[in-house]
Amino acid sequence: MAAVTGTTWTCYDSSTMTSREIYGRTLAELGKTNDRIVGLSADLAKTTAIVHFADAFPDRFFNFGIAEQNMFGAAAGLAKAGLIPFASTMAIFACLRGGEQIRTDICYQNLPVKIIATHAGISFGHAGTTHHCTEDLAVMRSFANMTVIAPADGIETSKAVRACLDIEGPVYIRIGRGFEPPCYENENYDFIPGKAVEMHAGTDLTIICCGIAVLQSVQAAKTLLEQDGLSVRVLNMHTIKPIDKEAVLKAVQDTRRILTIEEHNVVGGLGDAVGSVIAESGKGCVFRKHGIQDEFSLIGYAEDLYAHYGLDANGIISHVRRMMGMEFEADENWEDD
């Protein structure tokens, strides 16, 4: 008897499958008490999880179809009318297709538009490079008035969305496709834009990371402590702009070795932001940036790409060991229970 293999699911199921991407529900909650919040989409409401807000407040949600430039222009207009627009689309389309509108209509006029850019980095691996975005941190950092946040997981995204409302001007939040495993247990920790979160204490080396790299770095740090006796500090630098200079400088002072990890080109992103802080401080330290090495990614599932580009725990462990000058060890008990 042949088994039925394969699994049926459609893109309409994605909003139930990505249960850990809770920002849509958070936004719907916020919409109850704040009637100035409106939601915008460019035909990607279900994919970007803003559908939860759309379902709760159909009169305050506008779908512009596949027209990102119009969407961001309209977001500016809605902000001018006195509302707080949350506009969501895929990172590549937000940052480059609607880029001029974000810069000229939104940042230049310093309007309170909050941009939720999904599928950032190589998280949409198998969709190919047209749907990847390893440039958005570099581009958004260069816009004056913009706050740039890369949350580590669904919980942090939810907290970032709440924090958005207290930031006067435009905000760019970049997240994955919603299948990222959770990093935090719950929302009971302080999320302050511009302040890094210490996820793991350490004194030998500091990993400064954002996005999916945070969970992987924490796991790597735990393994390194157990196996190599290395004490690795992990800083979740969720806000790339304005960057937490204090935390960076303290890390330089305390550990003298800095490794940055990001799901982004090594050019222009978190690595360069941290590097500038270090260089301007005049203090010497061992500094390595890790991310996508200024190339367009291969095709594959995101998790495989992370493994390939060394953005997963194993990859991070080997980077750290290289920085400390050590070799890779195996851990093997292959008996079944």
Given 39, 73, 176, 211, the residue binding another protein (CB under 8 A): 73
Given 85, 99, 170, 268, the residue binding another protein (CB under 8 A): 85
The stretch near another protein (CB under 8 A) out of 103-111, 204-212, 263-271, 285-293 is 103-111
Binding-residue pattern over the window 25 to 44 for another protein, x denoting contact by CB under 8 A? -------------x------
Q: Give the whole-angstrom CA distance, residue 27 versus residue 121.
A: 23
End-to-end CA distance of the chain: 29
Cβ contact 289:260 at 8 Å: yes
Shortest distance in whole angstroms from residue 279 CB to another protein = 33
Given 28, 50, 51, 74, the residue binding another protein (CB under 8 A): 74
Joined together, the tokens standing for residue 62 give 């506008």
Joined together, the tokens standing for residue 334 give 């292959």
Q: Residue 254, SS3?
A: helix
Shortest distance in whole angstroms from residue 275 CB to another protein = 29
Longest dimension (CA), the chain: 70
64 interacts with another protein by CB under 8 A: yes
Given 55, 100, 168, 280, the residue binding another protein (CB under 8 A): 100
Joined together, the tokens standing for residue 44 give 């990607």
124 interacts with another protein by CB under 8 A: no
Given 11, 13, 201, 279, the residue binding another protein (CB under 8 A): 13
- Return the ∠ at Cα 214 (arms to 21 and 129), rounded to 5°: 70
Q: Which of 238, 160, 137 is nearest to 194 (CA)?
A: 238
Shortest distance in whole angstroms from residue 68 CB to another protein = 9
Q: Between residues 109 and 281, which has the closer beta carbon with respect to another protein?
A: 109
Q: Between residues 130 and 333, which has the closer beta carbon with respect to another protein?
A: 333
Q: Give the whole-angstrom CA distance, residue 90 versus residue 66.
A: 11
Residues that bind another protein (rule: CB under 8 A) add up to a total of 67
